Chains A and B, each alone.
Chain A
Amino acid sequence: MAGIKDTTAIVGIGQTPFARHLADDERTLACRAVLAALDDAGIAPGEVDALSSYTMEETDEVELAKAVGFGDLTFFSKVGYGGGGSCATVAHLAAAIAAGQATVGVAWRSRKRGSGPRPWKNTTVQLPTPAQWTRPFGLLRPADEIAMLTRRYMHEYGATRDHLFNVALACRNRANQNPAAVMYERPLTREMYMTSRWISEPLCLFDNCLETDGALACVVVSAERARDCRRRPVYVHSAAQGLPAQHHGMVNYWNDDPLTGPAWTAARHLWKHADFTPQDVDVAQIYDAFTALIPLSLEGYGFCGRGEGGAFTEQGALEIGGRLPLNTSGGGLSEAYVHGFNLITEGVRQLRGTSTAQVPDAATCLVTAGEGVPTSALLLRS
């Protein structure tokens, strides 16, 4: 089986402004981001024949297609589990195009999480693991569920709040270089971090991602078609989804090893189909709804051993010039929280050489989706 390695490329990216509140509704934001991505690629909307998004996306295919003037669609898919689906939207398009089911694919996410409701306030929505086992006891928000794993992780491996601060700081420093980032003009200090209010101990305000309005999109075509597009192609080298055996989502408290999660499953497939290894990754965009997901993901994707994710962040490892520059547009913590789609577009910019925090000569980039929920990941290369 030949697989999808390097057979498709991301050739266009687009986004709206990011803010706590944008006037446009989600559908309008989706249209703007998609049209910007197609313009970036130099491809007319009428040529699009494939779509992919998240099950939580509220602009559906019919509305988007008729608004922006797509042609006949022959492939459309949606991926579940919130931010776990981000990279899978690109993976599904890559697989569909490689298999001949479509030729021009658009993936997108539009969300008014800044001015809209907080999803955890809707207690009628059921989760992958029934909420009867957690919510009555006051484990209400994703932050509470991940904080539980974080406390255990810190206890078992000696990780500290300083390690989590290293993650928050790296993301904030990159946002301070990125005029599009919500936190562009807002530097973070250790004192601010250590004295900030708690959200769910051991996670404080700065361990939590932003709440943002915004939309992003990207365009995927075959490698052959990519050569004729306006921008330098960024190839989808390897892609994976991951749902481990006996996994329970963000409340992964009931298996033999709760501190391994979907990243480990996605990583095994990702590296099996790649021509390079974690040591060859020039820059990483790792899903950061919470700082604690970074040490877990560093372990899961093979950048360090079990329990070493906290220590990995020391000595500026995640900064530009460090071992693994992280979330170079600011990530969900400091650029925008749009279910991780901004990590994909930043991966593309790094490999085009157009990031506002460019890693010199970056040729390989790992992009990941939410850890702690059924996830997905991409290895991109120039």
Chain B
Amino acid sequence: MLDPVIDSDGAPFWGHARQGELRVQACGDCGEPRFPPRPCCPHCQSFASEWREVAGHGRIWSYVVPHPPLLPDYADQAPYNVIVVELTDAPRIRLVGNLVAEAGARLDSVPAGRIRIGAKVQVVFSGEGLPQWVLERS
């Protein structure tokens, strides 16, 4: 599996994720959240930023089901799902992830037929500190 190739802007996100916290970058001056993280605020041009904790609830904005040809580790789990989650706390922050049956489960652990745009999901973290998503019990 591919590990995130982390750059200096993204490092805090992954650091928090390893501690089981979902945090997004926000401007230290005007407070506007932004994703992906970057050196300065496109609204007020401030270089000050903070990492704001979000509740980890969201809705599926879209999803795909990749089939081979794929890289070997992914082909072994295909067809699997990749989802984009729109965060309840910050609707313009949409995180790419996987819908799984439980934390650390395989990428194909939820049948593709159960996935719907708009479904409520909640963040969990894999053993490697990768954010994953499970369906919220309604």
Contacts and interface: CB of A to CB of B under 8 A. Distances in A.
B36 interface: yes
B103 interface: no
Given A251-B96, A253-B61, A140 B5 contact: no
Interface in B71-118: 71, 74, 77, 79-80, 82, 84, 92-98, 107, 112, 117
A114 to B, nearest CB: 14
A151 B62 contact: yes
Contacts of B4: 132-133, 135-136
Nearest to A246: B42
B74 to A, nearest CB: 5
A144 B64 contact: yes
Interface stretch (A82-90, A122-130, A371-379): A122-130
B61 A199 contact: no
Interface residues of B, number: 40
A147 interface: yes
A135 B36 CA distance: 14
A198 interface: yes
B36 A130 contact: yes
A289 to B, nearest CB: 16
A143 B69 CA distance: 11
Contacts of A155: 62, 117
Interface in A184-205: 197-202
Contacts of A149: 62
A141 B82 CA distance: 12
Nearest to A199: B67
A101 interface: no
Given A137-B97, A200-B66, A132 B71 contact: no
A66 interface: no
Contacts of A147: 64, 66
Given A138-B70, A198-B67, A254 B92 contact: yes
Contact of A152 (B5, B10, B14, B61): B61
Nearest to B73: A138
Contacts of B6: 132
Given A118-B69, A148-B82, A251-B96, A140 B74 contact: yes
6 smallest CB-CB distances across A and B, nearest first, come from A132-B4, A201-B65, A152-B62, A147-B64, A198-B67, A200-B66
Interface of A: 118, 121, 123, 126, 129-141, 143-144, 147-149, 151-152, 155, 197-202, 246, 248, 251, 253-256, 258
20 contacts: A123-B2, A130-B9, A132-B7, A137-B82, A137-B96, A138-B70, A140-B66, A141-B70, A143-B66, A148-B84, A151-B63, A152-B84, A198-B65, A201-B112, A248-B36, A251-B96, A253-B61, A253-B62, A253-B96, A254-B35
Given A123-B2, A198-B67, 5 more contacts: A123-B5, A133-B10, A136-B130, A148-B62, A149-B62
